[in-house]
Amino acid sequence: MTACGGGGGGGADAGVVRSSWGDPPNPLEPANTNDVQGGKVLDMIFRGLKRYDPRTGEAKNALAERIESSDQRNYTITLKKGRRFANGEKVTAASFVNAWNYGARIDHKQRNAYFFEYIEGYDKVHPASGAAPTAKTLSGLRVRNDRTFTVRLTQKFSTWPKTLGYNAYVPLPRAFFTDHAAWLRKPIGNGPYQVRSYAKGSVMKLRAWDGYLGPDKARNKGVDLRVYTDSNTAYTDLQAGNLDLVDDVPAQQLKFVRSDLGNRYINQPAGIIQTLTFPMYDHVWSGPARAKVRRGISMAINRAQITERIFQGTRTPATDWTSPVLRRQGGYQPGLCGDACRYDPVRARKLIKAGGGLPGGRMTITYNADTGSHKDWVDAVCNSVNTVLRNDRACVGKPVGTFADYRNKMAGKKMTGPFRAGWQMDYPLIQNFLQPLYYTGASSNDGHFSDTGFDRLVNQANAASADGRAIAGFRDAEKILAEQMPAIPLWYQNGSAGYSRRLSEVALNQFSVPVYSQIRVG
Amino acid sequence: MGRYALRRLLQMIPVFIGSTFLIFFMVYALGDPVAALFGDKAPDPATAARIRKDLYLDEPLWRQYAHYMGQIFSGHFGTAFNGQPVTELMASAFPVTLRLTLVAVAFEMALGITLGVLSGLRRGRGLDTSVLLLTLVVVSVPTFVSGTVLQYLFGVSWGWARPSVSPEAPLNELLLPGVVLGLVSLAYTTRLTRTSIVENARADYVRTAVAKGLPRHRIVTRHLLRNSLIPVVTFIGTDVGALMGGAIVTERIFNIHGVGYQLYQGILRQNSPTVVGFVTILVIVFLLANLLVDLLYAVLDPRIRYA
| Amino acid making up residue A269 | P
Mean pLDDT across chain A = 91
User: Strand, coil or helix: what is A424?
Assistant: strand
Q: Between B223 and A294, whose confidence is greater?
A: A294
Backbone angles phi, psi at B237, to 5 degrees: -60, -50
How large a percentage of chain A has pLDDT more than 90? 71
Report which of residues A320 and B231 the model is more confident about.
Answer: A320
Instruction: Please give, rounded to a whole number of angstroms, the shortest distance from the CA of A434 to a CA of chain B.
Output: 14
> Per-residue pLDDT for A9 more than 60?
no
CB-closest option in A11, A106, A202 to B46? A106
Distance from C-alpha of A242 to C-alpha of A430, rounded to nearest angstrom: 40
Looking at the partner chain, which of A129, A229, A422 has a beta carbon nearest the beta carbon of B252?
A: A229
- Quick one: closest CA in B to A447, which residue? B42
Nearest residue of B to residue A12, measured between CA atoms: B166
Does the distance separating the beta carbons of A233 and B253 come in below 8 Å? yes
Confirm or reject contact between B46 and chain A (CB < 8 A): yes
What letter does residue B5 receive in the DSSP assignment?
H
Cα separation, A14 vs A18, whole angstroms: 10
Which one has a higher pLDDT value, B56 or A398?
A398
Inter-chain residue contact B252 with A199, CB threshold 8 Å: no
- Whole-number Å distance between alpha carbons of B169 and B26: 31
User: What is the biggest distance separating any 2 CA atoms in chain B, rounded to whole angstroms?
Assistant: 84
Mean pLDDT along residues A58-68 = 94
Query: Cα–Cα–Cα angle for A132, A136, A138, nearest 5°?
Result: 115
Distance from CA of A424 to the nearest CA of B (A): 8
The Cα–Cα gap between B78 and B86 comes to 6
| B29 reaches A (C-beta below 8 A) | no
Best of A29, A233, A424 to mutate (most B CBs within 10 Å, chain B): A233
Name the phi and psi angles at A387, rounded to 5: -65, -45
Q: Provide the mean pLDDT of chain B.
A: 85
Q: What burial class does residue A466 get, using C-beta atoms within 10 Å of its C-beta: 0-12 exposed, 13-18 middle, 19+ buried? A: exposed
The span from the CA of A464 to the CA of B133, in Å, is: 78
> What 8-state DSSP symbol labels residue A342?
S
The Cα–Cα gap between A27 and A185 comes to 10
Minimum distance, in Å, between the CA of residue B46 and any CA atom of chain A: 4
Q: Which residue from B30, B254, B265 is facing A405, i.e. has the nearest CB?
A: B30
Q: Does residue B92 register a pLDDT over 50?
A: yes
* Chain A CB contacts of B41 below 8 Å: 34, 436, 443-444
Write B13-18 long-range contacts (CB < 8 A, 24+). B15/B283, B15/B287, B16/B280, B16/B283, B16/B284, B16/B287, B17/B69
User: Which tens digits make up the pLDDT trace of A465-481?
Assistant: 888 889 999 999 999 99
For residue A129, the chain B residues in CB contact (below 8 A) are 46
Q: Is some CB atom of chain A closer than 8 A to the CB atom of B262?
A: yes
Find the CB nearest B270 among A202, A228, A402: A402
Distance from CA of B94 to the nearest CA of A (A): 14
User: Least CA distance to B28: which residue of chain A?
Assistant: A405
Chain B residues touching A445 at Cβ < 8 A: 42
Q: For residues A287 and A484, what is the distance between their CA atoms, to the nearest angstrom? A: 9
- Please check the confidence at residue B129 and state whether its pLDDT lies above 70: yes
Residue B306's pLDDT band, with cuts at 50, 70 and 90, is low
Q: In this prediction, what percent of chain A has a pLDDT beyond 70?
A: 98
* Contacting B residues, span 154-173, partner chain A, CB-CB under 8 Å: 155-156, 159, 162-164, 166-167
Residue A154 phi/psi, 5° resolution? -80, -15
Q: Residue A2: what pLDDT?
A: 35
A492, A316 contact by CB (below 8 A):
yes
The answer to whether the CB atoms of A129 and B50 lie below 8 A apart is no
Element (H, E) at A491: strand A487-499
What DSSP string describes A401-418?
A: S-HHHHHHHHHTT---S-
Stated length of chain B: 307
**Touching check for B91 and chain A: CB below 8 Å?**
no
Half-sphere exposure of A107 (CA within 13 A, CB side): 10
CA dihedral A93, A98, A104, A110 (to 10 degrees): -120
Strand ranges across the sheet with A148-152: A64-68, A74-79, A148-152, A141-145
Cα separation, B278 vs B273, in Å, equals 8
Q: Report the chain B residue with the minimal C-alpha distance to residue A423.
A: B40
Q: Which helix (H) or strand (E) holds A79?
A: strand A74-79
pLDDT at A7 over 50: no
Q: Which pLDDT score, from 0 to 100, does residue B281 have?
A: 85
Nearest to A298 by CA among A315, A321, A266: A321
Q: pLDDT tens digit string along A211-262?
A: 999 999 999 999 999 999 888 899 999 999 999 999 888 878 888 898 999 9
* pLDDT for A3: 37
CA distance A389 to chain B (A): 31
First to last CA, chain A: 17
Q: In this model, does residue A108 exceed pLDDT 70?
A: yes
Q: Which residue of B has its CA nearest to A404?
A: B36
Which residue from B minimizes the CA distance to A446?
B42
Q: Write out pLDDT tens, residues A297-340.
A: 999 999 999 999 888 888 999 999 999 999 988 899 999 999 99
CA distance from start to end of chain B = 6
Give the span between the Cα atoms of A204 and A505, in whole angstroms: 22
ipTM of this complex prediction, to 2 decimal places: 0.82
CB contact under 8 A, B47 and A423: no
Please check the confidence at residue B149 and state whether its pLDDT lies above 70.
Answer: yes
Pick the closest to residue B169 from B123, B116, B101 (CA basis): B101
- Tens of pLDDT along A169-224? 999 999 999 999 999 999 999 999 999 999 888 899 999 999 999 999 999 999 99
Report the alpha-carbon distance of residue B36 to residue A29 in Å, rounded: 18
Closest CA to A487 of A302, A324, A270, A322: A322
Query: Which of the residues B257, B259, B264, B274 would you substitute to probe the A interface, choosing the one with the greatest number of A C-beta atoms within 10 Å?
Result: B257
Distance CA A366, CA A406 (A): 8
Instruction: Give the separation between CA A272 and CA A139, rounded to whole angstroms.
Output: 34
What confidence tens digit (pLDDT) does each residue in A19-30 have?
A: 999 888 888 999
Smallest CA–CA distance, residue A236 to chain B, in Å, is 7
pLDDT at A307 (0 to 100): 93
DSSP B74-141: TT---B-TTS-BHHHHHHHHHHHHHHHHHHHHHHHHHHHHHHHHHHHHTTTSHHHHHHHHHHHHHHHS
CA within 13 Å, CB half, A493: 16
Nearest to B164 among A242, A402, A404 (CB): A242
Position A5 scores a pLDDT of: 34
pLDDT for the residue B43: 81
Sign of the C-alpha dihedral computed for residues A498, A38, B52 and A413 taken in this order: positive
Asked if the Cβ–Cβ distance from B36 to A234 is below 8 Å, we say: no
Percent of chain B that is helix, strand, coil (3-state, to 5): 80, 0, 20
**Secondary structure (3-state) at A2:** helix
Give me the pLDDT at residue A10, please. Answer: 47
